[in-house]
């Protein structure tokens, strides 16, 4: 019972950081959905089973092993609110950039990461986060969103599996919201899709939380091609 307040504080931090209202700019991202819809590979509206399959594969094969593992490494590099293994955090950051094959994916990841840094250092003022902000400002680290979030989550006392799970849920919630805005699905179906992938998010978070920097990988060729095509699209609603 003695650790209940700390656990609840960690839970509240996860809820705050994964909230769509948190001003990091993730609402501008469709994660390849826009090009999938424009190319006709997703019907409008789409079969809910197809949406579940695409989201599940994207979590298992791309987001969890890349952003999820990088977040876990950055979390592991952060000891308390004021101590940071900068070398480990930077290695995870650089590897995460390397596995994001499309220019848009790299740019949106660092743009939202820097936005998170600005908001978080002002709102939370964690010493470890301020250290990493200096590395990013000096261009000694890319500042990917997942890495910044890993440092911040650890500084706020969020356990590593919960921090990774929160990031995967935030991705899935943003993905389904983009599907609604693109008229690929409706609000009710989007919530059903999000509910359907809960076990996948939990399992992926558990796996990612125990990986090291060498485990940062991604393998979604079709979505990578869609992201590359999105860069050349003249009319678009989303930044990626």
* pLDDT digit string, tens, across residues 162-207: 999 999 999 999 999 999 999 999 999 999 999 999 999 999 999 9
Tokens of 73: 């490494």
Q: Is residue 195 part of a domain?
A: yes
- Residue 104's pLDDT is what? 87
CA 113/CA 93 separation, integer angstroms? 11
Residues 6 or more apart whose CB falls under 8 angstroms from that of 92 comprise 69, 70, 73, 74, 77, 147, 150, 213, 216
- Residue 1's pLDDT is what? 45
CA 168/CA 64 separation, integer angstroms? 7
Which residues of the chain fall below pLDDT 50? 1
Q: Is residue 167 part of a domain?
A: yes
Q: Nearest 5°: phi and psi at 31?
A: 60, 40
User: Within a 13 Å sphere around the CA of 147, how many CA atoms are in the beta-carbon half?
Assistant: 33
Tokens of 202: 């939990």
CATH of the domain at 76: 1.10.4190.10
* Cβ count within 10 A of residue 11: 14
> Does this model's pTM top 0.95?
no
Domain interval for residue 85: 28-36+45-230
Q: Is residue 237 part of a domain?
A: no
CA 2/CA 79 separation, integer angstroms? 21
Number of domains composing the chain: 1
CA 42/CA 45 separation, integer angstroms? 8
Q: Is residue 17 part of a domain?
A: no
- Residue 142's pLDDT is what? 98
Residues 6 or more apart whose CB falls under 8 angstroms from that of 156 comprise 9, 10, 13, 81, 124, 126
Q: Is residue 122 part of a domain?
A: yes
Q: Is residue 13 part of a domain?
A: no
CA 110/CA 102 separation, integer angstroms? 13
At residue 116, the 3 state secondary structure works out as helix
């Amino acid at each position: 019972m003695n650790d209940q307040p700390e656990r609840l504080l960690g839970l509240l931090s996860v809820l705050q950081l994964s909230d769509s209202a948190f001003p990091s700019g993730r609402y501008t991202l469709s994660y390849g959905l826009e090009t999938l819809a424009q190319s006709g590979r997703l019907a409008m509206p789409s079969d809910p089973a197809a949406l579940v399959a695409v989201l599940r594969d994207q979590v298992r094969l791309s987001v969890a092993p890349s952003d999820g593992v990088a977040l876990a490494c950055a979390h592991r590099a952060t000891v308390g609110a004021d101590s940071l293994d900068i070398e480990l955090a930077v290695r995870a950051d650089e590897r995460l950039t390397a596995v994001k094959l499309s220019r848009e994916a790299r740019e949106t990841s660092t743009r939202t990461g820097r936005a998170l840094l600005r908001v978080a250092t002002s709102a939370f003022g964690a010493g470890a986060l301020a250290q990493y902000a200096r590395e990013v400002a000096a261009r000694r680290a890319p500042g990917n969103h997942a890495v910044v979030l890993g440092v911040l989550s650890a500084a706020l006392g969020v356990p590593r599996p919960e921090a990774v799970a929160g990031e995967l849920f935030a991705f899935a919630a943003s993905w389904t919201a983009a599907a609604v805005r693109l008229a690929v699905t409706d609000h009710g179906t989007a919530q059903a899709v999000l509910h359907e992938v809960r076990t996948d998010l939990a399992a992926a978070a558990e796996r990612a939380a125990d990986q090291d920097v060498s485990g940062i990988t991604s393998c979604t060729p079709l979505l990578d091609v869609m992201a590359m095509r999105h860069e050349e699209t003249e009319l678009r609603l989303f930044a990626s």
